[in-house]
Chains A and B, each alone.
Chain A
Amino acid sequence: MTRALGLLRRRLIGVVPVFCLVVVGAFLLLEAAPGDAVDAYLAGIGGGDAAQRAALRAEWGLDQGSLARLAAYVAALLRLDLGWSTAFARPVLSVVLERLPNTLLLMGMATLLALSLGSALGVVCGARPGSVRDRAVSLAAIAIYAMPGFWLGLVLIVAFSVELRWLPSGGIETVASGLTGWERALDIGRHLVLPVLALGLVYMALYLRLMRDGMAELWSQDFVRAARARGMHGARLVLRHVARNALLPVVTMLGLQSASMLGGSVVIESVFAIPGLGRLASEAVARRDTPLLLGVILLSAVVVMTVNLVIDLVYALLDPRVGSGTGG
């Protein structure tokens, strides 16, 4: 337990300078975009004259030098003020927070699918590397990994929504249906099947290959031979001794892929018309709403850092050699 806490403290300290750099980067982007917050705000409320413009600039500290503006930006962030969204005519914070849960749901379920199916199939393949079963599944995985997520999404829509009519083709729930509780959850679930598959299958292929390759290498390790020498065989050997160790690089990859998956959700949410953070970024670029885009970027960074932290802790739990100072 203390080992986990020590690790947590160390990681939290390391995260701070990185986030500062992200904030500075966001600020630079804000500066680089044409027009500023005042222009955007006035455009949203129907225009204003030069005097109003100057007054607002002074009030928001936008008539100061760069460093002062950076300070003002950081101060605003600390107040959780992410600026004003021209596209939605609302504070950015409220827009992104509204969309965040949908994206988290999508990502969470996609990760669950990718991890469980990928590990399971990876173990099946890795139990007997080189077998027909292994080669067939690995080939399928390589093909899936090469597919663009949005294309896979469209193919799934054509197959399951257009042709078979089993599942809805978009949205996160049936609009204005008035469903609540368990029924609503099921409705959302039905809507999420295809997007989760589209987002998660590619990562499933990745984890499958990782698990399988890891296990293939582990079979020649000394401690596996020693376990065999103690009479361990079959499922016990495969799961307890080999797979358990092969899980470690998969967990590491999980952390590294969280940013990638968030990026992937941008297209998937667009294909399936899901009101989430990813699609918000796309809308923000299309409507030249820089504060909104930055809000999405900053929030994404926070999500990625949180996920990485959690993954690090999980990894420390799985691998007793981490953080104890004696190798590993």
Chain B
Amino acid sequence: MSFARRVMETGEGRFGVVMLALLVAVALAAPWLAPGDPLAIAGEPLLRPLQDMAHPLGTDRLGRDVLSALIHGARTSLLVAVSAAVAALGIGITVGTVAGFLGGWVDEALMRLAEAFQTVPAFLLTLALISVTGPRAETIVLGIAIGAWMQPARITRAEILSLRERDFVAAARVIGMRPLEIAFREVLPNALTPAVSLAAVVVAAAVLIEAALSFLGFGDPNRVTWGSMIAEGRTVLRRAPYLSIIPGVGLVLTVLSVHLTGRGVARALRAWRVLA
């Protein structure tokens, strides 16, 4: 059974992949699906959804089109979340590999560092970074990453520790490869699997953190995000609750699809590993 087929085996796997593919497609096609500036005033303020077919999801209190903002918001959410996950995994896997392979006091020190980072709530870490650098997309990505690298680091380190003693590493040592070279060329590719299955979890968490940051007003002020839409909607919560509810549904579907896809991929990877 091909890998893709295996992922789509369960109902939840299918839903996850299809939903995620849809979201990615929408995000990529944003400039064509919703041309123009989503922050520009497009019509009358506070139109309800389905009231005016020119604005199928209604407008906010300034008259900006909700559907357009929703589509562009998808772009920002996914972009930030994926970048943050890549950064977190990059940092985590590197740290984990170095710690697992070099061992000794380097390992001790790095693991204590990870523990220190885990003691402070991740959201506060992100806030701390933003308070110093200001809220820009790049710093938000980094801020999320510094709160999420620890788990990939631990998992990679554990995998490296178990692989280190295996025969193919001894063979590499015998032919004279240097320790770090062995680490990155031989051991790392094998150790990646568990960290990669963590990717979905990190992406999902990053989506939520970015949304929370935007909601509080610490997001990138130049972009439309679902979080900022919800914050905007909050000011007219009693009159127009749909302004806050709709972007939230987008968030839920995104996180859900990432989770379910991740679970499907993890299960497929496990089965594949067993057979290999």
In the complex, what residues of A have CB within 8 A of residue B227's CB? 148
Given contacts A154-B237, A259-B122, 14 further A-B contacts (CB under 8 A): A18-B112, A18-B119, A22-B119, A25-B120, A146-B204, A148-B251, A154-B244, A154-B248, A158-B237, A158-B244, A259-B120, A262-B124, A284-B131, A297-B128
Q: Which one of A17, A151, A296 has the greatest number of beta carbons of chain B within 10 Å?
A: A151
Residues B132 and A143 in contact, CB atoms below 8 Å apart = no
B-to-A contact residues, CB < 8 Å: 12, 112-113, 115-116, 118-124, 127-128, 130-132, 204, 208, 211-212, 215-218, 227, 230, 234, 237-238, 241, 244-245, 248, 251-253, 255-256, 259-260
In the complex, what residues of A have CB within 8 A of residue B259's CB? 142, 145-146
- Show 9 residue pairs from A and B whose CB-CB distance is below 8 angstroms, ordered by the A residue: A21-B112, A22-B119, A22-B120, A142-B259, A146-B251, A146-B255, A148-B227, A154-B245, A304-B121
A114-160 contacts to B (CB < 8 Å): 142-143, 145-151, 154-155, 157-158
* Total count of chain A residues near the partner, CB < 8 A: 47
Residues B244 and A151 in contact, CB atoms below 8 Å apart = yes
- What CA separation (Å) do A17 and B112 show in the bound complex? 7
A177-213 contacts to B (CB < 8 Å): none
Residues B245 and A155 in contact, CB atoms below 8 Å apart = yes
A-to-B contact residues, CB < 8 Å: 17-19, 21-22, 25, 29, 32-33, 142-143, 145-151, 154-155, 157-158, 162, 259-260, 262-264, 266-267, 270-271, 281-282, 284-286, 288, 290, 293-294, 296-297, 300-301, 304-305
- What CA separation (Å) do A160 and B131 show in the bound complex? 35
- What CA separation (Å) do A232 and B230 show in the bound complex? 53
CB < 8 Å neighbour of B123 from A154, A263, A305: A263
- What CA separation (Å) do A147 and B245 show in the bound complex? 11
Q: How far is the CB of B160 from chain A (nearest CB, A)?
A: 22
In the complex, what residues of B have CB within 8 A of residue A158's CB? 237, 241, 244-245
CB < 8 Å neighbour of A296 from B124, B215, B238, B248: B124
Residues B121 and A21 in contact, CB atoms below 8 Å apart = no
- What CA separation (Å) do A142 and B234 show in the bound complex? 26
In the complex, what residues of B have CB within 8 A of residue A32's CB? 132
In the complex, what residues of B have CB within 8 A of residue A33's CB? 131-132
Q: How far is the CB of B108 from chain A (nearest CB, A)?
A: 9
Residues B120 and A301 in contact, CB atoms below 8 Å apart = yes
Q: How far is the CB of B60 from chain A (nearest CB, A)?
A: 15
